[in-house]
Structures are given as structure tokens and as C-alpha cells.
A = this chain, B = another copy of it.
């Protein structure tokens, strides 16, 4: 809290005026991240076909990994510790969201627009792969000779993820 106050340029006591407890502040941070996360799914809706919808979703989530790497890490940390603070979000918002997207993907499968894979596990793969570039960004950077990914690197990463997954679900 002292460090946050310093960075924010106010005394710690004043920070506690706005956020009574550390957990309250933390919860707000996680909520904000979760919102960003959910909005990336707008790409999914109204997509004419899986290649477009899932391709755009990958682009959106890769962009989030690039723009909000620390947000992604906070979310990962929260979940890794058993979601002590936002378990209710997992059980309600996230569960509903997931069920909705599974229905969309299943619709595409039933319409013969993509291979008959398990929509749920496809979603996990999308989450894992895109978030990896944020959560394990330091490892990726180390393996990139210690240099941050360039514009071209990010472009290639996006393209590779889309290439493999879209081919993997039989839409290219």
C-alpha cells in the first residue's frame, strides 16, 4: 500500500480513504481486468463463420496480452491462488460467458463449418495460448535474446497462433 501510494503521489492514509482495505483495492483491479477480458469476446458475436470469429478473438486477446500484460498476470495470480477474491465472478459471469460461447462454437460445428472438436477445450487453448504471451512474457523475452518483441514479432506471433489453431479446427 505504501508503494502504491508513493506511485500515485499521495500519503498512504489518503489511499486508505478511498480504499478502506488492500483487498478492496485489489478487487477493483481484478474486476477492471475481467471487464477487458470479457469485452474481447465481442469479436465472437455476429461473426459469419468460425474463421472470422475465432480469428478476431485471437487478435483481440493477443492485443490485450500486449497492452495489459500486468493485468493478465494479476488475473493469472488470482486464479492460481484459488480465486480467493473473485470466485463469485468465476461461478457466475465467467460460467455464463463460457456456456454462451460454447453454444456459438457448437452451432458452427453442427452447421459443418468446422471440425467437431470440444468447444470447451478449444476455449481453454485460446485462453492459454494468447495469455501466455503476457503471463510468460518474461520467458518469451529471454528466449528472444532478452529483447522485447518487436511489432514484427507480435505480428508473427498472432499469425502463427491463428495459423495453427484455425487449421487445427479445420477452417483453413
Interface residues of A (CB under 8 A from B): 73, 76-77, 79-80, 82-83, 87, 90-91, 94-95, 98, 115, 117-118, 120-122, 124-125, 127-129, 131-133, 135-136, 138-140, 142-143, 146, 156-157, 160-161, 163-170
Further 17 A-B residue pairs, CB within 8 A, beyond A83-B142, A95-B143: A73-B80, A76-B76, A77-B77, A90-B138, A90-B142, A91-B142, A91-B146, A118-B156, A121-B161, A122-B160, A124-B133, A124-B140, A125-B161, A128-B129, A128-B132, A167-B170, A168-B168
Interface centre among A91, A118, A131 (most CB of B within 10 A): A118
Give CA–CA (A140, B131) in the complex, Å: 15
Give the residues in chain B near A91, CB-CB below 8 Å: 142, 146
The answer on a CB contact under 8 Å between B76 and A136 is yes
Give A116's nearest chain B residue, CB to CB. Answer: B163
Question: Do A125 and B135 form a contact, CB below 8 Å, given A83-B142, A118-B160, A168-B168?
Answer: no
A50, chain B: closest CB distance, angstroms? 13
Give CA–CA (A73, B136) in the complex, Å: 12
A103, chain B: closest CB distance, angstroms? 14
